[in-house]
Structure 1
Amino acid sequence: MKFEKKGGGKLTADKIAVKKVSEQVEERIKRMIQSGMFKEGEKLPSVRELCEMFEVGRSAVRDAMTTLKGKGILQVKQGEGAYIRAFDTESFFTTQLMLPDTKDIRELFQARKMIEPGLAGMAAEKRTVEDVCILESFLSQEVMANWEADYEFHMKIARITGNMILVKLMAFIAASTRKAMIDVHQHIQSRDEISNLVMEQHNRIFKSIQSSDATAAKENMISHLEFVEKVLVNNVLQS
């Protein structure tokens, strides 16, 4: 909130924004769904019934339903009404995509540090010969000079686990931090000693997955992410 003193010394502040009625209706409907009052596949009360329930006008209810439809929470069938959609990870991660600030980027990277070591350990236990060959293809200096290859190396590890919720969560984090991580990658590639160190870290992660050593895979991934985080914090987020 922004505070200012006017000429006479009076302290003023930005007005607190009041939520639109439609936004309040949207939140009420979401809470009712989350509480289990409405189940997946169940038909929502009609617009008229919702107007009476919330004591609001039809336009507020219609606007709220349009927003919930856009977020993938409701499915509107022409001539029938609105139904509660089953949870869809694809639409959830798409509609919740962030335009993060510095604090968000730090927290998203912290989430990576919590998730990726577990993925690496699981990948070491589940990998196939084909998985190992694909992972190895991302390890050359020429290939790793490309940010997309670095991204695909980490995403391939996630995909090996077969857990699509975690794969989509990783893709969501990567998409939300894309600009910052491209800057990190450019900084790494501009310095041979850092670039070589990251290559060694990727190789250690690869070898531990190749040898099905889940413990080493977790430890090597943690070390790698902690190093990249230092580059991110000291050279990208500070600028």
Structure 2
Amino acid sequence: MNVEKIYVKKVSESVVEQIEKLIEDGTFQSGEKLPSVREMCDMFGVGRSAIRDAIITLKGKGTVDVRQGEGTYIRTFESVTLFNHPLISPESSDVRDLYQVRKMLEPKIAELAATNRSDRHVRELKEIISQEALGDWEHDYNFHMTIAKASGNQIIIQLMQFISATTKKHMNDFHHFIQRDHLKVKKINEQHKDIFHAIRANHAEEAKNKMTEHLEYVERILQTNLWSLSESK
């Protein structure tokens, strides 16, 4: 008979899974200090040894840093360590290729965000929408990054951090450009609101479609203006 042994999960492994889930959903942020061992004992209802073993495991996985006399901190993701290929770097000027990646990724990210978002993510997106200034690239950046966080997938967040780090200058140039056209600014802000409303309502398919429409619209502006201008220099 082919009988598999029953695997009994260690308490510390369950703690690791819980902490990783809290990091993925944004409850624990990159760079943030974890609660003390005693606080986590109360939080998870386990003993000190389970917490210590879990921290050792997380440290080995590169998820946390243990600082002597200070505590345990969630490691801050550095995008350049994920993408170290010489053809892909934050200095890359090939916006076309990067924009193709955005169109492949972000509609699905919006779909996941509509399914997995928390009330906190909804509040953050609403706050960003309410403060969107004319052509403010930082609000644009925060809007898309918050949607990535709402997806609940840590790898997606890391991918978006890389893409955003690579294109920040181009985002800035783009928003300086569209400041001259209030209709385009209004259109982009309306598209952000449509995406937000779909995510808030848990309408996954609509969120995906609205994100696709938004990215295609911005790409058309880039194709007819910024890219042609840069090539004529």
State the AA in 2 paired with 1:93: L
Distance between the aligned counterparts of 1:91 and 1:124, measured in 2? 29
Residue in structure 2 matching 1:169, options 159, 174, 184: 159
- Pairwise mapping of residues 120-199 of structure 1 onto structure 2 (< 5 A)? 120-140=110-130, 142-143=132-133, 145-199=135-189
Distance between the aligned counterparts of 1:222 and 1:197, measured in 2? 14
- Pairwise mapping of residues 89-104 of structure 1 onto structure 2 (< 5 A)? 90=79, 92-93=81-82, 95-96=84-85, 97-101=89-93, 104=94
Distance between the aligned counterparts of 2:78 and 2:130, measured in 1? 33
Report the equivalent of 1:118. Answer: 108
Q: Structure 1 pair 185/91, CA: closer, same or farther in 2 (3 Å)?
A: closer
State the AA in 2 paired with 1:195: V
- Divergent runs of 4+, >6 A: none
Residue 218 (1) aligns with residue 190 (2): no
- Report how far residue 200 of structure 1 moved: 0.7
Q: In percent, how many aligned pairs have the same letter?
A: 39
| 2:195 and 2:211 in contact (8 A); partners too | yes
- Pairwise mapping of residues 3-152 of structure 1 onto structure 2 (< 5 A)? 90=79, 92-93=81-82, 95-96=84-85, 97-101=89-93, 104-140=94-130, 142-143=132-133, 145-152=135-142
Distance between the aligned counterparts of 1:144 and 1:164, measured in 2? 31
TM-score by length of 1: 0.58
Distance between the aligned counterparts of 2:79 and 2:131, measured in 1? 33
Aligned length, in residue pairs: 150
Distance between the aligned counterparts of 2:103 and 2:152, measured in 1? 19
- Report how far residue 193 of structure 1 moved: 0.6
- Report how far residue 98 of structure 1 moved: 3.5
- Report how far residue 91 of structure 1 moved: 5.3
Distance between the aligned counterparts of 1:149 and 1:163, measured in 2? 22
Computed over aligned residues only, the root mean square deviation of the Cα atoms, in angstroms, reads: 1.9
Distance between the aligned counterparts of 2:80 and 2:160, measured in 1? 15
Distance between the aligned counterparts of 1:187 and 1:195, measured in 2? 10
TM-score by length of 2: 0.60
- Report how far residue 177 of structure 1 moved: 1.6
Higher relative contact order (CA 8 A, sep 6+): 2
Structure 1: 5+ residue runs without aligned partners? 1-87
State the AA in 1 paired with 2:209: E
| 1:181 and 1:232 in contact (8 A); partners too | no
Which string of whole-angstrom CA distances, capped at 9 and with x for unpartnered residues, describes residues 214-238 of structure 1?
0000000000000011111211111
- Report how far residue 140 of structure 1 moved: 2.8
Q: Structure 1 pair 94/145, CA: closer, same or farther in 2 (3 Å)?
A: same
